[in-house]
């Protein structure tokens, strides 16, 4: 089946470098039905035995396929649920990509998963100021509560359906021993006194997955695909051929004509890093080294600041000025 994929290809090779230095291109790529299908198969157990093309063509937003197919052809880009989650007296949550996907092999009643996919550039607690795992739990809790809207004595809790929050960590602050790894967290039953049977579907309602990228070859198919998209420094044509041949992400003739005048997000970042390095490479390198030593626990903030003859506040301001870290 020859399905159009102009959207995926064009967002991977965005023509505007200024737009690429934001996270826009990452979010745009993650709205590709084919990229999402590979992610769902790779980390969601409910889709482990389902072919990628079937996930993309049947289970991801099936209502949108039925709506668009007769008029506009197959919708390669998902519509997604609202990115902004507002609730009374609650902090507003902004999701990168949020969608519903139908569970496979359901014959009597349709059951959906609510899925949030996030592109995360910072992963270390020392950089964020909090453990990322706690933020994910909050996101999932909001996705659960949104299914009920209001709670009363008459609330039907049977309507709650399972949520997944999938975080793709691709920044340069991932510790080496954690790079190219996938970690999952779920709600599990523990028999503290006497073993009893409780249907898993009654409590298995939240699952978090962390996909940590790196560089270099890997035997893990999903990590290999995501690295090809987000962190690989191979030429654009080579990367897109690899996505098509190894991961089944199709491309079109129209896209091939655009390849020559486009650059990838990662290539732009490399070019920018080279220019910045020529301008203030020595100073940046010095402070980046101390920042890494703080992140690894080798030095405290005070010790690193003293080595640079600065106060801790001045040292932090210097990190922000050199764009080694961000302002909180």
Please write the tens of the pLDDT for every residue from 179-226: 999 999 999 999 999 999 999 999 999 999 999 999 889 999 999 999
Do 53 and 116 reside in the same domain of the chain? Answer: yes
pLDDT on residue 305 = 84
Do 253 and 284 reside in the same domain of the chain? Answer: no
Do 279 and 221 reside in the same domain of the chain? Answer: no
Do 76 and 196 reside in the same domain of the chain? Answer: yes
Do 51 and 75 reside in the same domain of the chain? Answer: yes
Residue after which a domain boundary falls, among 219, 245, 263: 263
Do 109 and 230 reside in the same domain of the chain? Answer: yes
* Structure tokens that stand for 267 in this block: 């290539």
State the pLDDT confidence band at 323, using cuts at 50, 70 and 90: confident
Do 224 and 292 reside in the same domain of the chain? Answer: no
Rounded CA separation 312/136 (Å): 30
Checking if the pLDDT of 84 tops 90, the result is no
Q: Is residue 1 part of a domain?
A: no
Residue after which a domain boundary falls, among 263, 287, 311: 263
Could you tell me which residues come within 8 angstroms of residue 234 by beta carbon, excluding any fewer than 6 positions away?
228, 242
Q: Is residue 187 part of a domain?
A: yes
Q: Rounded to the nearest 5°, which phi and psi values hold at 91?
A: -65, 140
pLDDT on residue 206 = 96
Name the 3-class secondary structure at 257: helix
Q: Is residue 73 part of a domain?
A: yes
Rounded CA separation 322/318 (Å): 6
Checking if the pLDDT of 114 tops 50, the result is yes
Do 78 and 113 reside in the same domain of the chain? Answer: yes
Do 150 and 289 reside in the same domain of the chain? Answer: no
Q: In what order do the strands lie in the sheet with 97-102?
A: 97-102, 112-120, 163-169, 206-212, 181-186
pLDDT tens-digit profile of 249-258? 877 443 333 3
Range of the domain at 308: 266-328
Number of domain units in the chain: 2
Do 118 and 244 reside in the same domain of the chain? Answer: yes
Checking if the pLDDT of 279 tops 60, the result is no
Residue after which a domain boundary falls, among 245, 263, 281: 263
């Amino acid at each position: 089946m020859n399905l159009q994929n102009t959207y995926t290809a064009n967002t991977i090779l965005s023509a505007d470098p200024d737009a690429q230095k934001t996270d826009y291109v990452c979010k745009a790529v993650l709205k590709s039905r084919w990229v999402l299908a590979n992610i769902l198969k790779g980390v969601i157990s409910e889709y482990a035995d389902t072919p990628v093309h079937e996930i993309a063509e049947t289970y991801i937003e099936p209502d949108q396929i039925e709506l668009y197919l007769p008029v506009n052809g197959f919708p390669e880009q998902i519509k997604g649920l609202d990115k902004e989650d507002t609730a009374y007296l609650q902090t507003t949550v902004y999701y990168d990509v949020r969608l519903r996907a139908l569970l496979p092999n359901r014959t009597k009643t349709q059951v959906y998963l609510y899925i949030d996919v996030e592109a995360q550039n910072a992963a270390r607690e020392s950089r964020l100021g909090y453990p990322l795992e706690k933020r994910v739990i909050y996101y999932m809790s909001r996705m659960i509560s949104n299914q009920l809207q209001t709670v009363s004595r008459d609330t039907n809790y049977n309507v709650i359906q399972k949520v997944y929050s999938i975080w793709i960590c691709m920044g340069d602050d991932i510790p080496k021993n954690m790079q190219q790894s996938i970690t999952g967290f779920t709600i599990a039953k523990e028999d503290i006194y006497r073993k009893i049977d409780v249907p898993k579907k009654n409590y298995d309602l939240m699952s978090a997955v962390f996909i940590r990228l790196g560089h270099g070859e890997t035997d893990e198919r999903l990590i290999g695909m995501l690295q090809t998209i987000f962190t690989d420094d191979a030429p654009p044509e080579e990367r897109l051929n690899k996505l098509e041949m190894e991961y089944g992400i199709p491309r079109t003739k129209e896209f091939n004509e655009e390849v020559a005048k486009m650059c990838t997000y990662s290539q732009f970042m490399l070019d920018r890093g080279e220019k910045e390095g020529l301008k203030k490479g020595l100073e940046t390198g010095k402070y980046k080294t101390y920042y890494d030593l703080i992140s690894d626990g080798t030095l405290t903030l005070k010790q690193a600041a003293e080595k640079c003859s600065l106060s801790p506040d001045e040292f932090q301001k210097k990190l922000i000025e050199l764009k080694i870290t961000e302002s909180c």
